[in-house]
């Protein structure tokens, strides 16, 4: 007997992309009336049935403290980087040194990988140019950095945002691994000092 491809877990994991597609449809038309929501739901169902979108496995956990910290720091970094890019544009003196920086991530989750790449691309001055999904490495084109210290600082900022995203909504396993890594780093620092 053929096992049904529809399961309760599959339906639960299909709801976020379904709701997102409906939201995008209504936002594009700037109309959230019942008929647009209903038509958006029909289109979302057709898109998901025809194109077989990958399942997004959500962690089913959300830490409000770290999520709030993430939002505040994201807006602060966007504002700060906007001023820095504006200043570079105003005082442009060639040559401007840019770099492509490879940043390995801790996470193997496609959802978190996407969240980190979009987060860093929202901050002016850096954009993701390539994603190495099997090895979980993001390649960024970064404005006006060339020294090893500047590259290290950028890499640390990506790692910090990744850690915040994992703490806010990562899986329990990723969260525990991150806590263990941070504890090991603290012990190493204490032994050095």
Token digits of residue 114: 């996407």
Range with the poorest average pLDDT among 89-93, 97-101, 113-117: 89-93
Checking if the pLDDT of 4 tops 60, the result is no
What does R_g of the chain's alpha carbons equal in angstroms? 21
Rounded to the nearest integer, the mean pLDDT of the chain is 85
SS3 call for 8: helix
- In terms of Cβ atoms closer than 10 Å to its own Cβ (0-12, 13-18, 19+), residue 142 is buried
Q: What are phi and psi of 129, to 5 degrees?
A: -105, -20
Residue 40 Cα distances to 46, 95, 98, angstroms:
10, 49, 42
With contact defined as beta carbons under 8 Å apart, do 131 and 139 qualify?
yes
Ranges of each domain in the chain: 8-51, 64-192
Residue whose C-alpha is closest to residue 74's, from 33, 30, 117, 120: 120
Most confident of 29-38, 154-163, 182-191: 154-163
- Rounded to the nearest angstrom, the gap between the alpha carbon of residue 192 and the centroid of all alpha carbons in its chain is 33
How far apart CA 74 and CA 79 sit, in angstroms, is: 9
């Amino acid at each position: 007997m053929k096992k049904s491809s529809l399961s309760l877990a599959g339906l639960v994991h299909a709801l976020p992309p379904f709701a997102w597609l409906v939201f995008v449809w209504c936002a594009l038309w700037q109309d959230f009336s019942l008929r647009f929501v209903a038509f958006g739901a029909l289109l979302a169902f057709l898109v998901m049935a025809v194109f077989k979108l990958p399942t997004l496995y959500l962690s089913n956990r959300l830490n409000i403290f770290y999520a709030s910290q993430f939002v505040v720091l994201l807006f602060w970094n966007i504002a700060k980087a906007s001023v820095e890019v504006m200043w570079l544009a105003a005082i442009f003196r060639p040559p401007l040194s840019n770099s492509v920086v490879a940043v390995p991530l801790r996470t193997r989750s496609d959802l978190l990988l996407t969240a980190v790449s979009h987060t860093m691309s929202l901050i002016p001055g850096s954009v993701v140019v390539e994603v190495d999904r099997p090895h979980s490495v993001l390649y960024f084109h970064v404005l006006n950095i060339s020294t090893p210290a500047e590259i290290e600082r950028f890499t640390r900022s990506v790692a910090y945002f990744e850690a915040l995203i994992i703490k806010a909504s990562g899986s329990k396993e990723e969260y525990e691994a991150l806590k263990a890594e941070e504890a090991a780093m603290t012990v190493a620092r204490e032994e050095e000092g």
